[in-house]
Amino acid sequence: MRVPSGQTIAARASKRAVARGGGGDRERLLALAEGRRDMVRLGRGDPDLPTPPHIIEAAKRALDSGATHYTHWQGQPDLREAIAEKCRRDYRVQVTVDQVIVTAGAQEAMYVVFQALLDAGDEVLLADRHYTSYSRAIRLAGGVPVFVPTREANDFVIDPQDVEALISPRTKLLVVVSPENPTGAVIPADTIAALGRIAHEHDLMVIADDIYEKFVYEGPPHTSIAAEPALGDRTIMINGFSKTYAMTGWRVGYMAVPRELVGPMQVIKHTLTICAPAVSQAAALAALEGPQDCVDDMRRVYAERRQILLSGFEPLGMGAVGRAALSTSTRGFPDTESPRTTFASGCWSRPTSSSFRARRSARERATCASRCCSPPR
């Protein structure tokens, strides 16, 4: 018989889980906002626009024809081919079907990559203002996130000199997310090229997360570090369907990885989810192969909302930075010592107040009704 240890249930959680567990300012703020009808949640990249109807129809057809089983752990071959084709078309990266792994959202890709690449104490360079799941996934894999400072004066774009200065013998990976969440920073082509050179010279692997690639509102188009010729096969491309096609709830994303890493990733990916949901894979294929004007329509809606926000914040002295999502700075507010981003979102989520809803323009309603989706609620 086991002797009772007297430990509380809470004390039985692993040190790793407790150290990385929920809580913190973000969670406290979200809890405060929960249920309030006069607040609009702007920080979460969950589009309130619905998934375009042709994607939903494809999923229904797939269910009717039996897409209710496991698939190959890497995903259905036709979807993987469509993803490889997209990588070749958009970024001129010679990806083949065997290098593509379809995941349960880009989120799972991120977790699998760090589990597959990091040993305890390995360092990963990433922007100080980053999508928090990156640093969590690094730590969960035993790695050490090393934060590259970003500055408002530079639109929160990471500076290659800072990156180089932080490289140590333990540095294994550089994470390049562009457009970045939460700052909306879009890394210019010459900076991307410099980062590529540094990664090559210091023999670093690179993660290119381009999940917000379709949502750049001003300035030159987005460039992916995956397209840097100097990097050859040292890049892992992470992307997904959540943002581009308003498919957050379908949980489907992907990565394109060097062939040598497919084997090491198999056991991790398979242990996590076996495969991405079969029905969501069918929906993702329809998204890639179907008409793309729904993406343009959504971008127009977000651009218009961004403009409304800008015109509201500027008189308050909250300047806009970032070219993708909207980030504002509290610069000019008496009680802040340094500029800080307050939030960012290319797409805001589920407005609840009627006065807010009323501000949505007639043009937005018309676009949504006639093209990509049903009218906003």
Ligand X SMILES: Cc1ncc(COP(=O)(O)O)c(C=O)c1O
In this structure, the number of other CB atoms found within 10 A of the CB of residue 97 comes to 17
Does 105 engage in binding with ligand X (CB under 6 A)?
yes
298 in Cβ contact with 246 (< 8 Å): yes
Task: Return the residues of window 162-191 that contact ligand X according to CB under 6 A.
Answer: 177, 181
Q: Is 196 in the site for ligand X (CB under 6 A)?
A: no
- Please identify, among the stretches 49-57, 102-110, 165-173, 263-271, the one whose residues bind ligand X according to the rule CB under 6 A: 102-110
Instruction: Extract the tokens encoding 156.
Output: 């929160």
Residue closer to ligand X (CB basis): 298 or 367: 298
Whole-number minimum distance, CB 104 to ligand X, in Å? 8
The verdict on 47 binding ligand X (CB under 6 A) reads no
Which residue in the shown chain puts its C-beta closest to ligand X? 105
In contact, 310 and 327? CB cutoff 8 Å: no
Strand order in the sheet with 341-344: 320-321, 327-329, 341-344
Burial of 151 from C-beta contacts in 10 A (0-12 / 13-18 / 19+) = middle
Choose between 160 and 179: whose C-beta lies nearer to ligand X.
179
Strand partners, 124: 145, 173
Distance CA 207, CA 261 (A): 13
- State the minimum distance, in angstroms, from the CB of residue 370 to ligand X: 27
What residues from 107 to 136 belong to the interface with ligand X (CB under 6 A)? Answer: 107, 131
Rg of the chain taking only CA atoms, in angstroms: 21
Q: Which of residues 211-270 bind ligand X (CB under 6 A)?
A: 211, 240, 242, 248, 253
How far, in Å, CA of 119 to CA of 138, rounded? Answer: 10
Residue 360's SS3 state is coil
Give the total of residues touching ligand X (CB under 6 A). 13
Q: Which CB atom, from 131 or from 215, has the smaller least distance to ligand X?
A: 131
Orientation of helix 278-289 relative to helix 77-91, angle to 10°: 40
Smallest gap from residue 331 Cβ to ligand X (A): 24
Q: Which helix (H) or strand (E) holds 102?
A: strand 100-103
For ligand X, which is the closer residue by CB, 302 or 367?
302
Q: Of these, 123, 209, 228, 364, which contacts ligand X (CB under 6 A)?
A: 209
Going by the DSSP 8-state scheme, the letter that residue 371 receives in this structure is: I
Contact 276, 242 (CB under 8 A): no
Give min distance, CB of 244 to ligand X, in A. Answer: 10
What distance in Å separates the CA atoms of residue 17 and residue 76, rounded to the nearest whole number? 33
- Exposure of 148 by Cβ count < 10 A (0-12 exposed, 13-18 middle, 19+ buried)? buried
User: Which span (32-40, 101-109, 295-303, 368-376) binds ligand X, by CB under 6 A?
Assistant: 101-109
Residue 346 contacts ligand X per CB under 6 A: no
> Residue 171 forms beta bridges with which residues?
123
Q: Which is nearer to ligand X, 106 or 367 (CB)?
A: 106
CB of 25 to ligand X, least distance (A): 18
43 interacts with ligand X by CB under 6 A: no
CB nearer to ligand X: give 181 or 328: 181
Q: Does 45 bind ligand X (CB under 6 A)?
A: yes
The distance of closest approach from Cβ of residue 131 to ligand X in the complex, given in angstroms and rounded to an integer, is 4
Stretch that binds ligand X, among 10-18, 100-108, 156-164, 213-221 (CB under 6 A): 100-108
Write out the residues near ligand X by the rule CB under 6 A: 45, 105-107, 131, 177, 181, 209, 211, 240, 242, 248, 253
